[in-house]
Structure 1
Amino acid sequence: MQYTSTRGHALGSYTDVILEGLASDGGLAVPGPLPQVDSALLESWRDLNFAELATAVISLFANDIAEDDLARICRAAYDPAKFSTSEIVPVSDLGNGLTLVGLSEGPTLAFKDIAMQFLGEALDFALEKSNGVLNILGATSGDTGSAAEYAIRGRERLSAFMLSPRGRMSEFQRAQMYSLQEPNIHNLVVDGVFDDCQELVKELSSDAAFKQAHNLGAMNSINFGRISAQIVYYFWSWLRVTDAVDAHDRADFEVSFSVPSGNFGNVLSGHYARTMGLPIRKLVVATNENNVLDEFFRTGIYRPRNAANTLATSSPSMDVSKASNLERFLFDLLGSDAERLRGLWQQLGADGFVDLTTEQPRFLEEFGIVSGTSTHQDRVNTIRSVFESTQVLLDPHTADGVTVAHAHIEPGIPMLVLETAKPAKFPDVIAEALGRIPTTDEAYREMLELPQHQIDMPADPNELRAYIAEHALHARS
């Protein structure tokens, strides 16, 4: 497996890529060519448990990690003791052609746990071999931060500097992050929106000298390790849905996925799974009112919004107007032409938008990608209607996925909706939809009462540099 940057530079091995995070040229690591999975190999995975399937899928990308070591990493990541179900990712029928892929059974009740638990173990393994340390610099719109912090809390070789936007997350999300007291966890609350946090991360990560001096890395979806781990549950859920399909009809049995989308990493993982050979008919990009991605896939015009025009919505983890992982998709769309991609970003800087209207028909025809927007009232109505008909309670982001999915359901093609988080994390929206606040277990109620610790910070890269320089881990001699 060869890795390159979307900006054109050759990169190292899988381990090198996950330790580096953002490439030194400012681009994102992409594999090439993608491994191919034929029907025989896919069928041979049918009886694997989740950890075993993760080992099989990720080994196609991580060929510098011995299989026994990778299997041990995956067993530790997907230990059933960390999840509320031994299946790790349960798949259940929602009726009306919809299937729910349960991705929120991990320690922070969000889909990010699936990839973060793996990445925490994989990074620790790589650092132990090299006797190194890594300071994770990340931005979160809600769930990435807590999932990353829970995956590395208490680890001696890893620390986290996690930026979050002031007042833009739910009470539950804030409590999950800010109540952590481990010395290797640093919660930095930025005056701004998620995109401001993300720009700070990109600026420091692109500063090669500072990054090297302070051992900076990433655990958000700019890290390809996250993407590789998310590919696993696309294969897992296809295998579960097709368990009931006649063996002669399984090889080409298509399903579609509706994916609530903010930073585009989850959809990108589905795009890679489809390119690898998984029979995916459509990938439905479901956005909230910050619908930059919906506009792009409908029109071919990519027009990111500034902080002032990024709305605070009732599905806050999707309040993103500059989706980092779109760069990886554009790299594929442009035939791996890094020079043309750099030209697009220059156009974006000059004009405030990118015009790819001539390529727009390919989004569906070649890549199977469609999109749609869900509003606050849509998600409230969907939460209510799904609960009344099935007694299944959705969080607002997953409700966005269900809302947008309805327009793209086709006869005979199962529509799988990827769950984002547990509804208890967003009690105000659930109360509006159902007239009552969802119950949480005692452990989570106690968490909400814990003292919280945070560092307030302006959206200033120099202040962030100073804080990291003072608090970063450094390698031991």
Structure 2
Amino acid sequence: MGLLRARFALKAARSSLNPFPTPKSLLSTTVGHLGDKNILLMGPPGAGKTTVGKIVAHKLGLPLVDIDDDVLETTWKMPVASKLDKVGGERFLEEEGQVLRNFSASGCVVSLTGSNPLHPEAMQHIKQSGMVVYLDVDSDDILLRLNRMKVDRVVGQEAGLSIRDILRHRKQFYEQWMDVRVFCGRGNKVEDVAEKVLQAVERYQNHAAETYVSTRRDGKGHTTHFSDVVVEGLASDGGLYVPKNGFPKMGAPEWLRLVDMSYQEQALVLLEKCIHPLDVSAVDLRRMIYKAYGSKFSCEDVAPVKHLVHHMYIQELFHGPTSSFKDLALQLMPHLFAYCLPPMCNYLILVATSGDTGSAVLSGFTGLHDADKRRTGVLVFFPEDGVSEIQKLQMMSFKERNVKAVSVRSDFDFCQRSIKRMFGESGMTGHLAVEYGTVLSTANSINWARLLPQVVYHSTAYLNLCRDGVINFGDPVDICIPTGNFGNAMSAMYAKEMGIPIRKVICASNHNCVVSDFINTGDYDLRKRRLIPSHSPAIDILKSSNLERFIYHISGNDTRLVKDLFTRLDTHQHFRLPDPLLGRIQQEMQAGWCSETDCLAAIQSVHTQTGYIMDTHTSVAKVVADKLQDATCPVVISSTAHYGKFAPAVLKALKMENIPRSPLEQLEKLQQTASIPGMHRDMMKCVTEGDRRGHAVCEADYSVLVEEVENMIQDSFLKVM
């Protein structure tokens, strides 16, 4: 069938499927669920816009307007196919856009044509009349429908292009104009799609219901939205923000559609479901995601999964600009933060880091537009003897006016504790607000916008195994994560809540094993603990912030219990879980720890066996997975950093003699040894070109850190003249 008859055939075929008659009123004043606003259904040919529109209009008691039947043919006084035959494809698109610019309706369900979104002026006009709902239907389903209707060409299709090519090309235009996406699973029937549209409309209208609460307060009488929690970071009562209604669930047909998509496409679909479009518009979220996970990542897959040995797989989370998993969150989080900022105030982001977060947050915030940089600053505190030399070089390499890193003669826990204290002192925060017009916030994993993007890569790890034929969707996997602050482990739990079939999350500790001891005994006891530096410094943490979110989650949102436990931890350095709750935790998680000797031995063993070099944190996870995982399903090990960040320890593990002291020489020696994965380009560049001058070190005194905060404000763009 030729181009000029295709649209007519499509229209005739879909009309035969319509279960309800089509109202013809174009100027209805019927008050529907959106008042006098329209529901505008947009999507490619064969997406079912007219059929779905009839069902939605019937259920809502609204008139349906089909742009083809009720607008174009009425205006032209001839069938669409005849118009196409008369003027040709290019002229047809122009005249179609002109008609749409003159279209006026209210309180209707409007089914657009597949080519309407190609007209910017026309779409700008019609978008003002209501809510644009993008029917994102699987291409295979569309092609099957078009084939049944004997349609082999669509409007605008040039010679040499397939319909699949057209669908792929047009997707960018649909995403440009949508208010909400209705993401359809493979094989969804039109009735299923219509129900999703109704749910999307209800969600869009009911923004007030999509709120966040503190883990220590039920939120009654207090409404907090996504845009609020991103900026505030920590709840005013000291708790951590979590979504009041939990995570959205996705079924197998939806997950299966994601399998063959790019990381950016997967992230967009998942995060749209977790962030209300009135907090961050779908169009702006798309822009942020494609900027965050673009050229700064050295691997096109962003977070690839590779086979290691036997049933073990590694997810490489170190291909971002600072070579750690923190980039997966902190290339996106600053854009969300800047977008959500209210007017009039400046914001200083305070960050405590055990190594990787520092450079990642500095990198992320230097990527903002100049206008946003003028309103945001970042101050990072890190333990002088608790990070590697390369991590120090990375943090000190950022020289832009709005970012700074400060070394402290203490450990990570002191840095984190000091920042939480600053947030809790109303006198200090009030002074900064009044004197400098500056508000404090945080980019640690206590900030919801830091944690949320991590849910994506745990989901994509599973989808990659499905894509590669290792598992079928629904088969279980375990995820083993080296963890100290528990944010990475918590994000895996949230991926499971969304529908990823994770059997167990395995938490791997080094000799600072407070988290693994807690999961195995129910006791969180800091009374006789002291932090001992290790080869895996990013998990040298005793007080695990995100554990609070986990206990809230596993206790069924018991805010009173969470507040009681963490108040006891603050005052007595200890709490014990009730036994039934411990049993629930152990159904979801396993935990173990790894000695320094075993950590280095595993690096050498894996390299000898496979040629693959792990960093010291990945090695901790590998050792614990070997101890605990039963090999009845695949286990994905989260490789949280590139081995080059911890070059001296890795060289020692590989039995290298005469290890050089210079970070550059260390990396060069590793580069001569390593085959997979290769050396990290940005890390090598940083060490080669970085500033080797010394850096300031401050004493472990809370008042000194407070002074650093005020100096940062006074000496930077945040100062109010």
TM-score, with structure 1 as normaliser: 0.93
Matched, 1:109 2:315: no
Matched, 1:314 2:538: no
- Give how far 1:402 is off: 0.7
Letter in 2 for 1:102: E
Please say if residues 292 and 305 of structure 1, whose CA atoms lie closer than 8 Å, have aligned partners that are also in contact. Answer: no
2:518 pairs, out of 287, 296, 305, with 296
1:274 pairs, out of 464, 488, 496, with 496
- Give how far 1:28 is off: 0.6
- Structure 1, gaps ≥5 residues long: none
Letter in 2 for 1:314: H
- Give how far 1:446 is off: 1.2
Please say if residues 260 and 286 of structure 1, whose CA atoms lie closer than 8 Å, have aligned partners that are also in contact. Answer: yes
Q: CA RMSD in A?
A: 2.1
1:363 pairs, out of 585, 598, 611, with 585
1:179 pairs, out of 389, 393, 397, with 397
- Give how far 1:147 is off: 0.4
Q: Distance in 1 between matches of 2:309 and 2:618?
A: 15
Look up the match of 1:141: 354
Matched, 1:339 2:560: yes
Letter in 1 for 2:361: A
Q: Counterparts in 2 of 1:142-221, with a 5 A limit?
A: 142-153=355-366, 155-208=373-426, 210-211=428-429, 213=433, 214-221=438-445
Look up the match of 2:98: none
Look up the match of 1:284: 506
1:235 pairs, out of 459, 472, 479, with 459
- Give how far 1:141 is off: 0.4
- Give how far 1:2 is off: 1.8
1:21 pairs, out of 213, 233, 245, with 233
Please say if residues 393 and 686 of structure 2, whose CA atoms lie closer than 8 Å, have aligned partners that are also in contact. Answer: no
- Give how far 1:452 is off: 4.2
Give percent identity, aligned residues only: 31
Inter-CA distance 401–294: structure 2 relative to 1 (3 Å threshold) = same
- Give how far 1:467 is off: 2.6
Please say if residues 100 and 418 of structure 1, whose CA atoms lie closer than 8 Å, have aligned partners that are also in contact. Answer: yes
Please say if residues 520 and 586 of structure 2, whose CA atoms lie closer than 8 Å, have aligned partners that are also in contact. Answer: no
Matched, 1:456 2:697: yes
Inter-CA distance 471–385: structure 2 relative to 1 (3 Å threshold) = same
Inter-CA distance 13–37: structure 2 relative to 1 (3 Å threshold) = same
RCO greater where, 1 or 2, for CA within 8 Å and sep 6 or more? 1
Larger displacement relative to structure 2 (198-207 or 329-338) = 329-338
Q: Distance in 1 between matches of 2:475 and 2:333?
A: 31
SS in 1 for 2:550: helix
1:91 pairs, out of 285, 294, 305, with 305
Look up the match of 1:324: 545
- Give how far 1:132 is off: 4.7
Q: Distance in 2 between matches of 1:349 and 1:7?
A: 14
SS in 2 for 1:173: helix
Q: Distance in 1 between matches of 2:694 and 2:274?
A: 38
Inter-CA distance 204–316: structure 2 relative to 1 (3 Å threshold) = same
Q: Distance in 2 between matches of 1:305 and 1:60?
A: 42
SS in 2 for 1:163: strand
Look up the match of 1:120: 334
Please say if residues 186 and 454 of structure 1, whose CA atoms lie closer than 8 Å, have aligned partners that are also in contact. Answer: no
Please say if residues 698 and 704 of structure 2, whose CA atoms lie closer than 8 Å, have aligned partners that are also in contact. Answer: yes
Look up the match of 1:75: 290
SS in 2 for 1:438: helix
Inter-CA distance 475–56: structure 2 relative to 1 (3 Å threshold) = farther
Q: Distance in 1 between matches of 2:527 and 2:403?
A: 31
Letter in 1 for 2:687: R
- Give how far 1:416 is off: 0.1
Letter in 2 for 1:361: G
Please say if residues 396 and 691 of structure 2, whose CA atoms lie closer than 8 Å, have aligned partners that are also in contact. Answer: no
Q: Distance in 1 between matches of 2:454 and 2:344?
A: 28
Matched, 1:33 2:262: no
- Give how far 1:126 is off: 2.6
Look up the match of 1:62: 275
Larger displacement relative to structure 2 (422-431 or 466-475) = 466-475
Letter in 2 for 1:83: F
Q: Deviations over 1:341-379 (max 9, x none)?
A: 2211233345431111512221122xx200000111111
1:45 pairs, out of 251, 254, 258, with 258
Inter-CA distance 51–157: structure 2 relative to 1 (3 Å threshold) = farther
Letter in 2 for 1:370: Q
Q: Distance in 2 between matches of 1:411 and 1:431?
A: 30
Q: Distance in 1 between matches of 2:404 and 2:524?
A: 34
Q: Deviations over 1:180-200 (max 9, x none)?
A: 222212212112110000001
- Give how far 1:475 is off: 8.8
1:445 pairs, out of 676, 687, 697, with 687
Q: Distance in 1 between matches of 2:449 and 2:694?
A: 29
Q: Distance in 1 between matches of 2:418 and 2:686?
A: 31
- Structure 2, gaps ≥5 residues long: 1-209, 368-372, 657-668, 672-678
Look up the match of 1:399: 619
- Give how far 1:471 is off: 2.4
TM-score, with structure 2 as normaliser: 0.62
Q: Distance in 1 between matches of 2:627 and 2:230?
A: 37
1:223 pairs, out of 433, 441, 447, with 447
- Larger Rg over CA atoms: 2
Letter in 1 for 2:406: L
Q: Distance in 1 between matches of 2:571 and 2:429?
A: 28
Matched, 1:388 2:388: no
Q: Counterparts in 2 of 1:430-441, with a 5 A limit?
A: 430-436=650-656, 437-439=669-671
- Give how far 1:113 is off: 0.4
